[in-house]
Amino acid sequence: MIVVLVSYMDIKTKILHFKDIAKKVAIPILKEQGKIRVISHYDADGICAGAIMYKTLKYLGKNFEISFVSQIEEDILKNIDLNAQDLIIFTDLGSGQLDLIEKYLSKTKVVVVDHHQPVFRQWYGLYHLNPHLVDLNGRVDISGAGVAYILARELSLRTKNLVELAIVGAVGDRQKKNDVFFGVNKMFLDEAEYSGIIKKEIGLRFFGRYTRPIHKCLEYSLDPFIEGISGNESASVQFLSDLGIPIRNSKGSWRKLCDLTKNEEKKLTTALVMESLVRGDDSIKFIGPLYKLSNDYDVSEFATLLNACGRLEQPIEGVKLCLGDRKSADDIQMKYRKRFAKYMSWISKNQKSFKVTDKATYIISGVHINFNFLGPLISIALKKNVKTGIVLGFSNTPNGVKISSRSRDSVDTNLSNAIRVASAKVGGTGGGHSGAAGGKIPMGSEEKFISIVDSLL
């Protein structure tokens, strides 16, 4: 394993070392004449990483196949037919499971391209590219897609345009904090802006700014939630008409937020800010920097769309979107909204049956909420449906019960610790961040888990 001692080095030097490792990791891929199998994570970052590998391997004329998984589990590794592939590439996952990968795949060539905290392991045939190896921080400096992009640059000179996917991946993994990018992500952004691939502007930040009719933008806006307008199409149309903002252009087609004149946008902004000031919301959310991608999407909007593809178990549609095929975008968004609304209504209808203690609310959904949706749903439930400062959701998966938890900012409890300890006690695993954590426990152990975790909160 290549571990470079670089804690005294500046970021540019670290990146140079990182590129050196990427050069070495590129060799087995460049040489490979047989079948390559890419396995990526199915969230926005993993989809971007997969799309970067797709484009790059295509440029190289390789024989390859891409698939997506929610995490590396023994079953998945066990079922890889070693006779059918000559090289396996993991993107946006694998670094934390090197021991498992070694157990099942040590007889084949393996490339791991990831940004998660690695376990330190090396064997002949493993090519490992991970920012932590050069003291870059995989939580804020670079995403899985970013690492894939660094590798792609070493594989083919034609990959320069893929830099925007590296940025989408970082945004998908919430590496942008208060609109600031750090480390390698910042370098990617400078690179993309300089070459005109990404355009930065300041404006109203609504989902669909570049892609949806204005009144739909307002109607569908959940975050920020506009009282009286969100969820109400006619109110949204009326609001715009009161402001004298036409929703159709002279040719009769819908206008988008990005089509507004500077004056119109100013008028709309003022009205929205006034509205929210009257209600005492933080109106600041409406306005901020936007990063427009070459496909006309705002970077956050596109990352959200890719996450929806993953949650709907259609990551391949996400790859197609990354490659410029936008046909399925509306369909994905509609499906996602419908599923989300269905689960939200299940939560409202069953609110009375939730277990509530003085610490937390426990939502045991069984099969009623798909486990891919659990995280975002309980985030909303914390805002809208529960009174406690902490909420935990449970959802059945084919091999255990998935747990997801969130706490309000005002709550000073380490959810990550509590869930890790409690799930270990019932034979499961867990962890995450202090305000948002998750885990998996054996089927049927929910009650026991709840009594343990509640005492730890």
For Mn ion, the binding residues (CB under 5 A) are 45, 92, 144, 173
User: Smallest gap, in angstroms, from Cβ of residue 251 to Mn ion?
Assistant: 42
Residue nearest Mn ion, CB atom distance: 45
Bridge partner residues of 440 (DSSP): 402, 429
User: How near is the Cβ of 15 to Mn ion at its closest, in Å?
Assistant: 19
Strand ranges inside 280-386, DSSP E = 287-292, 355-356, 360-364
Q: Which is nearer to Mn ion, 92 or 317 (CB)?
A: 92
- Determine contact, residues 177/78, Cβ cutoff 8 Å: no
Smallest distance from the beta carbon of 170 to Mn ion, in angstroms? Answer: 9
Nearer to Mn ion, 173 or 298 (CB): 173
For Mn ion, give the closer residue by CB, 43 or 317: 43
Minimum distance of Mn ion from residue 40's CB (angstroms): 10
Q: Which of 125, 148, 177, 129 is nearest to 18 (CA)?
A: 129
Of 172 and 213, the one with the shorter C-beta distance to Mn ion is 172
Say how far apart CA 20 and CA 407 lie, in whole Å.
41
The residues near 365 (Cβ < 8 Å, ≥ 6 apart) are: 346, 374, 393, 394, 395, 396
**Smallest distance from the beta carbon of 41 to Mn ion, in angstroms?**
6
What tokens does 441 get? 């426990």
CA distance 296 to 129: 31
Three-state SS at 290: strand
- Cβ-based nearer residue to Mn ion, 112 or 272: 112
Structure tokens at 269: 């902004």
- Specify the residue, 166 or 377, whose C-beta has the smaller distance to Mn ion: 166
Nearer of residues 118 and 144 to Mn ion, judged by Cβ: 144
Closest distance to Mn ion from the beta carbon of 146 (Å): 9
Sign of the four-CA dihedral 220, 226, 227, 233: negative
113 CA to centre of own chain:
17
Minimum CB separation from Mn ion for residue 175, in Å? 9
SS3 of 226-259: the string is CCCCCCCHHHHHHHHHHCCCCCECCCCCECEHHH
